[in-house]
Chains A and B, each alone.
Chain A
């Protein structure tokens, strides 16, 4: 099946700093989504972004499908941004999303 790699595995930031999280995938995809899992375990959909760029407040994401990667940008980080960020992809012909192992972000006040 398709391989999904996220980097870095762990990230510690001072409040107010910016960060970039990366998701590499091994095959062409027709679906890519980013999720945030908060410290209470809740999974929230951030972006549906199989290609192009989207922005939502302090968060933005870019997917370059031809080069098989996606980036999630967090600007002016806040303590509430802490948690684990997952990338999930669906390859052409498949009917299910495969998840990476995530990037654990800790934002320190």
Chain B
């Protein structure tokens, strides 16, 4: 199993551009989530999903969209990038609410 796979690993955007961070897992996990990590602030939840077709907002959802059309994929869309969205983004999944959380390797995004 590859686990949780994120692409791209690095991306530089200009303010106002849009992009999608891809996340895929091959463990048949129901729960998937996106976090951002900023220096000194730990990990903050952006959006999460408890199954295909079901998504909800986390702590910091503004400026981001998600969808969950399949169990495997959970893309994160930035509609109009802002410098405040410069961060490292992590996708994670778990089998169920009581399951261990597994992370992807992260995607470092810089918005100029």
Contact = CB atoms under 8 A, between A and B. Distances in A.
Partners in one complex: yes
Nearest to B47: A96
Chain B interface size, as a band, is 20 to 34
Contacts, number: 55
Contact of B42 (A42, A48, A86): A86
A99 B44 contact: yes
A96 B45 contact: yes
Interface residues of A, number: 22
A55 interface: no
B64 interface: no
A43 B48 contact: no
Nearest to A47: B100
A33 to B, nearest CB: 6
Given A41-B88, A43-B90, A48-B100, A99 B105 contact: no
B48 to A, nearest CB: 5
Interface string A78-109: 00000000101010000111111110000000
Which of B43, B50, B56, B88 is most buried by chain A, counting CB atoms within 10 A of its CB? B43
Interface in B1-58: 31, 33, 35, 40-45, 48, 50, 56, 58
B28 to A, nearest CB: 17
A101 B42 CA distance: 4
Interface of B: 31, 33, 35, 40-45, 48, 50, 56, 58-59, 88, 90, 92, 97-103, 105-106
Given A41-B105, A95-B31, 7 more contacts: A30-B98, A41-B106, A44-B103, A45-B103, A95-B50, A95-B97, A97-B101
